[in-house]
Amino acid sequence: MSVRAQLFITCLGENFFSDTLKGMVRVLERLGVQCEMPEGQTCCGQPFFNSGFQNGALAPARQFIRVFGKTDGYIVAPSGSCVDFVRHHYLQLFPTGTPEHARAKEIVARTFEFSEFLVNVLKVEDVGAVFPHKVTYHASCHLLRGLGLREEPKQLLRAVKGLELVPLNEEETCCGFGGVFSVVYPEVSQAMMQTKVNNIQASGAEYVVAGDPGCLMNIAGGLHKMHSPIRALHLISVLAAQ
Partner 1 sequence: MNEIPTHIDFRTNVQHVPPHIPASIRKATTKFLGTRQAVVDVLGDERWQALRQAAHDIRLHTLQHLDHYLTRLEEQVHAAGGVVHWARDAAEANQIVLDLAHEHQVKRAVKVKSMATEEIGLNHALQADGISVMETDLAEFIIQLAGVGPSHIIVPAIHLTKEDIAQLFTRKLGVDAPPDPLKLCEIARTRLREAFLSADLGISGANFLVAETGTLVIVTNEGNGRMCTTMPPLHIAVVGIDKVVPDLESLSVLLKLLPRSATGQKMSAYTSFITGPRRSEGEGGPKEFHLVLLDNGRTRILQDDVTRETLLCIRCGVCLNVCPVYNNVGGHAYGFAYSGPIGAMLSTQLLGMRAAADLPFASSLCGACAEYCPVKIPVPEILLRLRRRAMEGDALERAVAPAAITSGARLGTLAFSHPWLYEFGTQMLKYVQAPLLKNGWLPNLPPPANRWTLARPFPAFGADFRAWFRNRTPQGRAREQQRKFGIGVIAAGIVALAAFLLARRKKDER
Residues lying near partner 1 in the complex (CB under 8 A): 7, 9, 11, 13-16, 18, 21-22, 25, 37, 39-43, 45, 47-57, 59-60, 62-63, 67, 141-142, 145-146, 172-174, 176-193, 195, 217-218, 220-222, 224-225
Element (H, E) at 190: helix 186-203
The set of residues, in sequence order, having a beta carbon less than 8 Å from that of 70 and lying 6+ positions away, is 38
Residues linked to residue 191 through DSSP beta bridges, in sequence order: none
Nearer to partner 1, 218 or 237 (CB): 218
What is residue 6's three-state secondary structure? Answer: strand
In the bound state with partner 1, the residue whose beta carbon lies nearer, of 166 and 191, is 191
Q: Which is nearer to partner 1, 91 or 180 (by Cβ)?
A: 180
Strand partners, 91: none
Distance of closest approach, residue 123 Cβ to partner 1, in angstroms:
26
Give 160 or 215: the residue with its C-beta nearer to partner 1.
Answer: 215
CB of 31 to partner 1, least distance (A): 17
Measured distance CA(180)–CA(49) in Å, rounded: 10
Q: How far apart are CA 78 and CA 61, in angstroms?
A: 18
**Shortest spacing between CB 72 and partner 1, in angstroms:** 18
Shorter beta-carbon distance to partner 1: residue 115 or 182: 182
- Give 80-113 as a DSSP string: HHHHHHHHHHHHHHS-TTSHHHHHHHHHHHTEEE
Minimum Å distance from CB 64 to partner 1?
Answer: 9
In angstroms, what is the minimal distance from the CB of 161 to partner 1? 27
Minimum CB distance to partner 1 smaller for 39 or for 123: 39
Closest CA to 163 of 223, 228, 219, 241: 241
Q: CA torsion 30→31→32→38, rounded to 10°? A: -80
In the bound complex, what is the minimum distance in angstroms from residue 169's beta carbon to partner 1?
Answer: 12
